[in-house]
Amino acid sequence: MAAPIPFSFLGAHINDSAVVGPDQAVHYEISTTRGFMKRKVTTIKSADGVTGSINWREETFTLNGVEKQWDDLQHRETTGIFHIPKMERTWNWSERPYNLKYVDRHKELLATPTFPGGEVVRYNPRRHRPFHAESDTPAVIYFPQNMDPTERMFLLMVVLRMEFLREAAEAAAAAGGG
């Protein structure tokens, strides 16, 4: 198994960022339109021609012109007698499901395939320390070398979705709401 390829997000916000490979070439362009206080649509264009978009209001992913509802793509297990949802989710675009789960106190998001022969995709969020700009590290996603470009785009969209949920939960907790 070959080493995964790191793709770094150049922007401080992953929803508006160029994503470069080790060769420093731009492999993805991510841009987000906004309405009143909220995201509307995030568009992702890849250098290999695959396109994706996330409609935040309609809760859909569109991949190469095919639109699907989030509820049709994800499954969340519950646990215990109160049926509390687990933090991990299974996402599936075309019969190739991945289990996504944050590990190490939200320092890494793992997308683990639940089908034979798949390889793990890793995402490390941007680390920002106020007043220590030199210690900032960009967000990085690690894709297997031979991953299908459409599957890679789908997982990139899922990672964006999961990361926005994580950021919202952290903001709510910091504001005293959680």
Percent with pLDDT over 70 in the chain: 88
pLDDT of 85 reads: 47
Dihedral, 55, 124, 87, 2 alpha carbons, nearest 10: 100
Does the pLDDT at position 178 exceed 70? no
| Of 76 and 44, the one with more pLDDT | 44
Q: Which tens digit of pLDDT belongs to each residue from 124-146?
A: 998 765 665 555 789 999 999 99
Please check whether residue 86 is in contact with residue 76, taking contact to mean a CB–CB distance below 8 angstroms.
yes
Instruction: Report d(CA 58, CA 79) in Å as an integer.
Output: 28
Domain that holds residue 154: 5-174
Please check whether residue 100 is in contact with residue 158, taking contact to mean a CB–CB distance below 8 angstroms.
yes
Out of 33-47, 84-98, 148-162, pick the least confident: 84-98
pLDDT of 84 reads: 47
What are residue 164's phi and psi, to 5 degrees? -65, -35
Averaged pLDDT, 97-119:
91
Out of 46-50, 92-96, 132-136, pick the least confident: 132-136
Instruction: Report d(CA 153, CA 15) in Å as an integer.
Output: 14
Concatenating the DSSP letter of every residue in 137-155 gives B--EEEE-TT--HHHHHHH
Instruction: Report d(CA 133, CA 159) in Å as an integer.
Output: 25
From residue 63, give the alpha-carbon distance in Å to each of 11, 67, 77, 149: 23, 7, 25, 11
pLDDT of 132 reads: 55
Averaged pLDDT, 55-61:
96
Instruction: Report d(CA 156, CA 16) in Å as an integer.
Output: 13
With 0-12 / 13-18 / 19 or more C-beta atoms within 10 angstroms meaning exposed / middle / buried, residue 89 is buried
Please give the tally of structural domains in the chain: 1
Averaged pLDDT, 34-46:
90
Averaged pLDDT, 50-66:
97
Does the pLDDT at position 9 exceed 50? yes
